Structure 1
């Protein structure tokens, strides 16, 4: 069992051996990137995508899904970025949506009421969410972003991570969000 004392010890090791200097200079991701991924402990987006600290903002939720709550979080983070313009890179913003195989979300498929509440939709609309198919669900979520965010400097990608092999497949290549 990992307890708080162990976490504090690990943090001391981190500070002594790995803490990067200069990271506190900007709250904005140095890679102009945000990754939305699942809370599954096997699928840490920073680790499996080789992201360095400060390179991307990472949002994790059940299934790595684009829900109304995720969209609200993204809007809040954009405001934080606007309030802190220093360190912003002048290049397109990249949103990576990362779903994965063997996701626990598929175990929730029989619970229509719970899923409808999570997605803030009616139970009749759940089939369109492609809950049990990571390839379909990542396409659904990319489409949601294309419908919600209208910025020409915004690229959206959809990836699926295979928990058996460790590989990532590009399902939706980086695509510019259509203009309003």
Structure 2
């Protein structure tokens, strides 16, 4: 049987037993999580999130890159158009993990990775691709330093260990714009 058939059967079950038409467009916890596409690191699972509780952005490495800034800007536009906003009461969580496949791209296709991260090949080493603990610190700092980042969030940096299932707070929660308000 084709896998799409399996997915379609699961969707019928979801529509009959799990669908909630009352979910809102914006997350109930006012939390956005930036994480990796690695299926071992699904925030819905590791944080036991309920549907609609958090917005989740997933990209290779869970990295803060130019595309993420564009996405945050568009999301803020959507929120404002819906009569709300994204502000200082929102949480932005950067979630990296151990044994990330982005390291393999760094070794085998540095040009592609440099373009993805919006840097030159010579600048890749400064992005701490091989160390999720250093990378999450760097990404949180990048969010805080970027004047084009839409919103004033409480931001934190976490690392998930794929061998133990535990999450460690590496960068404690603090405001992206501490002087705003």
TM-score, reference length from structure 1? 0.90
Counterparts of 1:162-177 in structure 2, within 5 Å, are 162-177=161-176
Question: Could you say which residue in structure 1 is the equivalent of 2:16?
Answer: 16
Could you say what secondary structure the match of 2:57 adopts?
A: strand
- C-alpha RMSD of matched pairs (Å): 2.0
Which segments of structure 1 move beyond 2 Å, counting only runs of 4 or more? 88-91
Kindly tell me the number of residue pairs found equivalent between the two proteins.
176
Q: Deviations over 1:112-144 (max 9, x none)?
A: 212211111111211111000010111111001
Question: Could you say which residue in structure 1 is the equivalent of 2:104?
Answer: 107
TM-score, reference length from structure 2? 0.90
Write the distance in 2 (CA, Å) between the matches of 1:84 and 1:134.
Answer: 36
- Alignment of 1:98 onto 2:95: yes
Q: Deviations over 1:37-67 (max 9, x none)?
A: 0000111112211111111111100000000
- Give 1:20 shift: 2.3
